[in-house]
Amino acid sequence: MRKLASIQKILRTEAIEGADSIEKATVLGWELVI
């Protein structure tokens, strides 16, 4: 059976200029909006 998801640690978060309620996170080298 194939894995569709895994649990990972967020390495860092950064504020996004001009955005009040969202931040940018880095996980496994990918930049995500949280």
Provide the whole-model pTM. 0.62
pLDDT in tens, 1-34: 898 999 999 989 999 999 989 999 999 999 999 9
What is the helix, strand, coil percentage profile of the chain, to 5?
A: 0, 40, 60
The pLDDT value given to residue 1: 84
Residues linked to residue 34 through DSSP beta bridges, in sequence order: none
